[in-house]
Amino acid sequence: MNQTILRKAGFSLIAVVAWLLPQSLSATEAASMVFTDRIEPILRDQCFDCHGADKQKNQLRLDRRSDMLRGGDSGEPAVVPGHPGQSYLLRKIRTDKDSERMPPKGPGLDEDQIKLIADWIEAGAVTPESYGPDAEETSIDHWAFLAVPEDFPIPTDYTGSPIDFFIGRRLKEKGLDPSPEASATTLIRRAYMVLHGLPAPPEVIRSFVADQSEGKWERTVDSLLSHPAYGEKWASHWLDVARFGETHGFETNRERPHAWHYRDWVIEAINHDMPYDRFVKAQIAGDVIGEPVGTSFLVAGPNDIVKGQDPKLGPMQRMNELDDMINTTGTAFLGLTLGCARCHNHKFDPVSQKDYYAIQAVFAGVQHGDRMIESQDEDAGSIAALTDRLHALGKELDNWPSSGLRDPVSASWNEEKFNPTEARVLRFVIHETSGNAEPCIDEIEIYQDGENIALAHSGVSVTSSGDFEHPLHKLGHINDGRLGNSRSWIAATRGSGWVQFTFPETVSIDRIVWARDRQGQFSDRLPVEYEIMAGISGDSLVRIAGSHDRLPPGSDRSAFYARVIGKLDPDERGRATQILRQWEKTKLELRELTQPVKVYAGLFEQPGPTHRLYRGEPDAPREQVGPDTVQVLGRLGLTRDSPEQDRRLALARWIASDENPLTARVMVNRIWQFHFGRGLIDTPNDFGRNGVPPSHPQLLDWLACEFMNSGWSMKHVHRLILTSKTWKQSSLPTKAGMQADAGTVLLWRYPTRRLDAEGIRDSILSVAGTLNSDAGGPGFSAFEVELENVRHYHPRSDYGPEEWRRMIYMTKVRQEKDSVFGAFDCPDASQVIPKRSRSTTPIQALNLLNSRFVTQQASLYAARLQKECGDDLNAVIRRAWMLSFGRNPGQEESAMAVEFASEHGLDQLTRALLNANEFLFIP
């Protein structure tokens, strides 16, 4: 029978061939023969580039089954067995667009050829064994994706710093010698500028130069690393990477008045040498591990708050928000340009489009916005001191009635403290509520060793006496980590109810925090009489806290005490009143510290399904994707419906793992970069194939290994670098060095460079004696703000002590720059800046010479010199040189300075000093 007749009768190509071929062949073998005889020639002869495509560029290969199923650059599967309509190959063959049609040249395929391919796909797209399996492991041959080694070729008899060994070996290969050690004056000035961003005080320089004791340099390094100015300087580097800003950006550019908490958190984390693995986890899942401010990192970027009515605009804006989180997380922690896989597979690195949307599924529940956060660890010392003082004052009042009672219950925040108690079951029992309404609680937090262990992701199970049926109020809200009325639980019965937590194992708890509505909008349904019971089992519960030791609901303790004082004898009344005032003041200070604060740290909700998007278009969804990471580097082990917090925590743990080949390398490279002006890899945000190879690969790996072995201590890496001979070299050039390595990539000398914008401004304030050392809190503004719907920022015309703080505390306005120091390559916070550009422009020179800020500080600098040295102009000149350059002037310099100051005024001399390269450059 003729094949054509059978085909027209409705038989598929595979069925026809299977009928015609000997019966000893299986259907699979028959289908394979059809592909070899009929399909493959079409793909090959019509120039589909099915053989020998460049796999390094992720181009589609049709001679490998795994590539057919995975697809090429587009991220679309070329062939979906059994589904011709979903197969990208057929869509490209059938399209009417000449720019997209395959094959790209010639008349294209005829209808019979297209039907052959469609039938083959519908029948399962069977290929010969030579085409390989459905999936193959992607080869990882790029150095950055390989594990950090633990053994290094350092001779056993080598006693110096391994840094000097690796640097010296490369210098020897190029026939270069390292430079001699810089002078003591240069070293101390360099250390202050690099670590603090400030000039070394003259007194410190003199003391360091005079000190001849062993270990003075190591002691100096430790002292500099323990000073608060270190965190203020190095936090600015991280905030560039985190694209931190205090306005939303875009056309309205409205303020984010609560964003500054993240800046302070970064400063504190660096100053306290928070282990970097925790630093990473805190910025992705800090709400889970007790560092809630850290999640500000996720929403630190720009956000378009004007949503509009276009139905396509909203989804696209949301995709852009998530892309910002994905790309920043990838570049900051992994040195990977994940954003390049939004619309297609990554052109250079093994990151598929599916990987990108798997990471998007991790962040899909993150929204921009303020969040109420409780007091942080940095307040713990002050809270403890105030609590002790309050207790001491209470002891003086121990003869008063009810002195031992706690405050009445509050709708917005309640804390229960008790001795550490072992428990596996905890029950919150409510006996009475305000208005006898159904009890309502927004969240119950149960603490062990300072960590909330009641969150749903920790494996705790929750039951209740019954739940009020309402779409906003669910039992699952009682421990979902989100606060406020809309995420609360309501019991089913009026005036009473209970909720019970059962832990997967026995825990030791000592603190519980709960409230009706921590956002402060609702105060009804408040439990006013309650008991908190705990025990190893439900049959052994005992009371550990409750309302029995609280004042009656609505009571005012101060008013209560005042009534008692009014009944005292006149002689005792005065002293009692004074104690009461101290008690009230202390209580107010304690309340301010312990009350939750609003922080721009993002909001979290359980996300819906995430789909891979064709070409990144929100209205072109493809298959659903579960939360995961870059598959060639690891897996997160999550399901599509994993809780939102679990997703971020799993990703954070994967990034911060010792097994991750990128994280440690990326961070030690950043630290190296800010010491020497250039990283061992000169593309600090791109460790992929498109990045620059490392200048000293084994040194980078050794530093990464040391970093992890030290417990991820950033200060440890600083010490390794600062105590090396490489860092302590002179910066003076040599003829041989300049000829062989003009860019100082091989570090034959210390590479001098100009201070960054913050360093210049802060140094001017420092030598002028006007630097305001106030740390933390809301920043100062360099602008007068025109409060229209679209904000307008006008440079300030006057500067006073409030504006003389360190520049890191200047409110970071997107799309605007400080009128003076913004010209010094100060980045716009609308994008990630891993490495600031370095320019020299006329505007910079004019700003330093003629701006109102600099002329003002030059005059104040002159006034300082006159105050400290009187009318002795020679003494004035010596003091000015020590403050500005850390040295005494030469004889000729001194004579010229005296002559200049006498003729033009001391303020003109100080202005010239502030413009000198010796003042502006790291030596």
Please give the Cα distance from 689 to 142 (Å, whole number).
7
pLDDT (0 to 100) of residue 394: 67
Q: Check pLDDT > 70 for residue 901.
A: yes
Please give the Cα distance from 573 to 146 (Å, whole number).
76
Pull the structure tokens for residue 691. 């990045």
What distance, in Å, lies between the first and last C-alpha atoms of the chain? Answer: 92
Contact 432, 529 (CB under 8 A): yes
Please give the Cα distance from 524 to 454 (Å, whole number).
25
Q: Check pLDDT > 50 for residue 28.
A: yes
Contact 776, 267 (CB under 8 A): yes
Question: What is the DSSP code (8-state) at residue 550?
Answer: B
Domains in the chain: boundaries = 2-131, 184-233+674-740, 235-365+627-655, 409-550, 853-922
Average pLDDT of 428-448? Answer: 96
- Read off the pLDDT of residues 729-762 as tens digits, 9 standing for 90 and up: 999 999 999 999 999 999 999 999 999 999 999 9
Pull the structure tokens for residue 32. 């394979």
pLDDT (0 to 100) of residue 97: 76
Please give the Cα distance from 712 to 392 (Å, whole number).
41
Contact 48, 103 (CB under 8 A): yes
Contact 706, 698 (CB under 8 A): no
Please give the Cα distance from 501 to 186 (Å, whole number).
62
Average pLDDT of 825-843? Answer: 92
Kindly tell me the burial class for residue 263, based on how many C-beta atoms sit within 10 Å of its own C-beta (0-12, 13-18, 19 or more).
buried
Pull the structure tokens for residue 859. 């005059």
pLDDT (0 to 100) of residue 81: 86
Average pLDDT of 334-341? Answer: 95
For the ranges 474-483, 551-560, 690-699, 743-752, the lowest mean pLDDT is seen at 551-560
Highest mean pLDDT: which range of 565-569, 828-832, 848-852: 848-852
Task: Look at residues 691, 659, 668, 703 and name the one whose alpha carbon lies nearest to residue 142.
Answer: 691
Q: If DSSP states are collapsed to H, E and C, what string results for 872-885?
A: CHHHHHHHHHHHHH
Contact 882, 792 (CB under 8 A): no
- The confidence band for 1, taking pLDDT boundaries of 50, 70 and 90, is very low
- Prior bond of 627 cis (ω within 30°): no
Q: Check pLDDT > 90 for residue 294.
A: yes
Task: Kindly give the residue spans of alpha helices, DSSP state H, lying in 543-637.
Answer: 557-566, 570-594
Q: Check pLDDT > 60 for residue 222.
A: yes
Chain center to CA of 194: 23
Please give the Cα distance from 509 to 395 (Å, whole number).
27
Please give the Cα distance from 695 to 690 (Å, whole number).
15
For the ranges 446-450, 518-522, 527-531, the lowest mean pLDDT is seen at 518-522
pLDDT (0 to 100) of residue 551: 82
Contact 717, 707 (CB under 8 A): yes
- Residue 460's beta-bridge partner residues? none
Q: Of residues 134 and 83, which shows the higher confidence score? A: 83
Long-range contacts of 377-384 (CB under 8 A, 24+ apart): 377/290, 378/264, 378/268, 379/593, 382/593, 383/590, 383/593, 383/594
Chain center to CA of 553: 43
Q: Check pLDDT > 90 for residue 829.
A: no
Kindly tell me the burial class for residue 707, based on how many C-beta atoms sit within 10 Å of its own C-beta (0-12, 13-18, 19 or more).
buried
Average pLDDT of 876-901? Answer: 96
Pull the structure tokens for residue 690. 């498109």
- Residue 372's beta-bridge partner residues? 598
Percent of the chain surpassing pLDDT 90? 69
Average pLDDT along the chain: 88
- The confidence band for 441, taking pLDDT boundaries of 50, 70 and 90, is very high
Cα four-point dihedral sign 189, 191, 197, 198: negative
- Read off the pLDDT of residues 263-281 as tens digits, 9 standing for 90 and up: 999 999 999 999 999 999 9
Q: Check pLDDT > 50 for residue 202.
A: yes
Average pLDDT of 700-713? Answer: 98
Please give the Cα distance from 245 to 762 (Å, whole number).
20
pLDDT (0 to 100) of residue 60: 53
Residues 765, 770, 776: CA angle, nearest 5 degrees = 85
- The confidence band for 136, taking pLDDT boundaries of 50, 70 and 90, is low
Average pLDDT of 37-41? Answer: 74
Cα four-point dihedral sign 277, 285, 673, 818: negative
Task: Look at residues 782, 783, 773 and name the one whose alpha carbon lies nearest to residue 805.
Answer: 773
Highest mean pLDDT: which range of 12-26, 362-376, 643-657: 643-657
pLDDT (0 to 100) of residue 18: 42
Question: What is the DSSP code (8-state) at residue 37?
Answer: I
Contact 234, 267 (CB under 8 A): no
Contact 77, 70 (CB under 8 A): yes
- Read off the pLDDT of residues 645-663 as tens digits, 9 standing for 90 and up: 999 999 999 999 999 999 9
DSSP code string of 783-848: EEEE-SSS-EEEE-S---GGG-B-GGGB---TT---TTGGGTTPPPTTS--SS------HHHHHHH
Contact 804, 771 (CB under 8 A): yes
Q: Of residues 724 and 139, which shows the higher confidence score? A: 724
Contact 221, 718 (CB under 8 A): yes
Pull the structure tokens for residue 855. 């002329």
CB atoms within 10 A of CB 734: 14
For tokens 């009187």, name the residue.
Answer: 870
Please give the Cα distance from 261 to 269 (Å, whole number).
12
Q: 817-854 burial, b for 16+ CB within 10 Å, e for fewer? A: bbbbbbbbbbbbbbebbbbeeeeeeeebeebbeebebb
Percent of the chain surpassing pLDDT 70? 89
- Residue 624's beta-bridge partner residues? 611
Average pLDDT of 63-88? Answer: 75
Q: Check pLDDT > 90 for residue 229.
A: yes
- Residue 785's beta-bridge partner residues? 793
- Read off the pLDDT of residues 141-192 as tens digits, 9 standing for 90 and up: 899 999 999 999 999 889 999 999 999 999 999 999 999 999 999 999 999 9
For the ranges 67-71, 78-82, 422-426, 540-544, the lowest mean pLDDT is seen at 67-71
Please give the Cα distance from 629 to 639 (Å, whole number).
12
Task: Look at residues 609, 649, 601, 651 and name the one whose alpha carbon lies nearest to residue 459.
Answer: 649
Kindly tell me the burial class for residue 799, based on how many C-beta atoms sit within 10 Å of its own C-beta (0-12, 13-18, 19 or more).
middle
Q: Check pLDDT > 80 for residue 20.
A: no
Pull the structure tokens for residue 815. 């799309």
- The confidence band for 12, taking pLDDT boundaries of 50, 70 and 90, is very low
Task: Look at residues 719, 887, 774, 921 and name the one whose alpha carbon lies nearest to residue 223.
Answer: 719
pLDDT (0 to 100) of residue 26: 59
Please give the Cα distance from 370 to 484 (Å, whole number).
12
- The confidence band for 45, taking pLDDT boundaries of 50, 70 and 90, is low
Q: Check pLDDT > 90 for residue 590.
A: no
Question: What is the DSSP code (8-state) at residue 890?
Answer: P
Please give the Cα distance from 435 to 495 (Å, whole number).
8
Chain center to CA of 135: 34
Question: What is the DSSP code (8-state) at residue 330?
Answer: I
pLDDT (0 to 100) of residue 65: 76
Contact 234, 674 (CB under 8 A): yes
3-state class (DSSP) for residue 393 = helix
pLDDT (0 to 100) of residue 57: 39
Contact 717, 705 (CB under 8 A): no
3-state class (DSSP) for residue 371 = strand
For the ranges 113-117, 196-200, 603-607, the lowest mean pLDDT is seen at 113-117
DSSP code string of 210-267: H--STTHHHHHHHHHHTSHHHHHHHHHHHHHHTT--SB--TTT--B-TTTHHHHHHHH
Chain center to CA of 696: 27
For the ranges 193-197, 372-376, 514-518, 775-779, the lowest mean pLDDT is seen at 372-376
Highest mean pLDDT: which range of 94-108, 397-411, 438-452: 438-452
